Amino acid sequence: MALIVARNRADLRKARGDGPVALVPTMGALHEGHRSLIRDARARAAQVVVSIFVNPLQFGPHEDFSRYPRTFEADLAVCEAEGADVVFAPSAEDMYAPDRQVSLHSGEMGRIVEGAARPGHFDGMLTVVLKLFNLVQPDLAVFGQKDAQQLAMIRRMVADLDLDIEIVGAPTVREPDGLALSSRNRYLSAADRQVALVLSRALRAGAAQAAAPKILGAARAVLDAAAPALDLDYLVLVDPSTFAEVGESYSGAAVLAVAARVGATRLIDNVVVSVGG
């Protein structure tokens, strides 16, 4: 069956089929990580809808909204190759009324870690995800573990607002050298890319430890060795469900998360670690 491109709400309503529907929300510039999300969705549902929408609400005033890569024709080819049924690609005008007043508030969890670095980001992200949920009406939605705090916040939103949607977290996809796939990787020069590999090396060093202080210490030592070529934003060890930083006596699963700027490009990465075991 040919891929359907829905440019507005009416097109989307016509395209929605019967049976379980899986949604893969994206901002386009699709790479192998997105391919893995679509494949995961394809294995779980009768119909797969991929949204492609660069959401202005989740970009700050000095962030890269205008230069965020837009590769729509190539994205359509990816969606078709991976077996998606529908691509929902609305305009900003179709998603947001000019007199829009109501948005979601992400709460305390949206103000910490990545939220502290990007004020308002999670408010905008949750608002557009909820709108996509309402428009597509999926039975399940697939998100990548690479954006671990985003995944945790979407699960919190689904629980808090009683949404009948299964949230699937898919593993981070990496290059053979360990760099986590990201649409922003294309901004890296060859030299910057070599520096960016420090992020995954730091996470691996931390994951090899057991106690919380040693996990952070081992990761930070790797990052510090790369300064000043790498400008560290944060390195934290957090509870996977709340993203609150864990204490020295914590035991259980945790997320070791890092954000840094390499050249002009800000990158994030994380790994789930076992603390105290």
Active-site annotation, residues: 34
The reply, when asked if residue 46 is annotated as ligand binding, is no
The reply, when asked if residue 36 is annotated as ligand binding, is no
The reply, when asked if residue 170 is annotated as ligand binding, is no
The reply, when asked if residue 32 is annotated as ligand binding, is yes
Residue 242 has, within 13 A of its CA and on its CB side, a CA count of 5
Going by the DSSP 8-state scheme, the letter that residue 165 receives in this structure is: -
The reply, when asked if residue 115 is annotated as ligand binding, is no
Tokens describing residue 120? 């308002």
- Letter for the amino acid at 245? E
The reply, when asked if residue 181 is annotated as ligand binding, is yes
The reply, when asked if residue 192 is annotated as ligand binding, is no
Tokens 């890569």, residue? 69
**Among 99, 262, 271, CA closest to 186:** 262
The reply, when asked if residue 150 is annotated as ligand binding, is yes
- Ranges assigned E (strand) in the chain: 4-6, 21-26, 47-52, 86-88, 140-144, 166-170, 230-238, 252-262, 265-275
The reply, when asked if residue 139 is annotated as ligand binding, is no
The reply, when asked if residue 146 is annotated as ligand binding, is yes
The reply, when asked if residue 28 is annotated as ligand binding, is yes
Helix axis angle for 190-207 and 212-225, nearest 10°, is: 160
Going by the DSSP 8-state scheme, the letter that residue 264 receives in this structure is: T
Residue 172 near residue 33 (C-beta atoms within 8 A): yes
190 burial type by CB count under 10 A (0-12 exposed, 13-18 middle, 19+ buried): exposed
Q: Whole-angstrom Cα distance, residue 127 to residue 120?
A: 11
The reply, when asked if residue 173 is annotated as ligand binding, is yes
The reply, when asked if residue 147 is annotated as ligand binding, is yes
Q: Residue positions in the annotated binding site?
A: 27-34, 58, 144-147, 150, 173, 181-184
Q: Residue positions in the annotated binding site for ATP?
A: 27-34, 144-147, 173, 181-184
Q: Residue positions in the annotated binding site for beta-alanine?
A: 58
Q: Residue positions in the annotated binding site for (R)-pantoate?
A: 58, 150
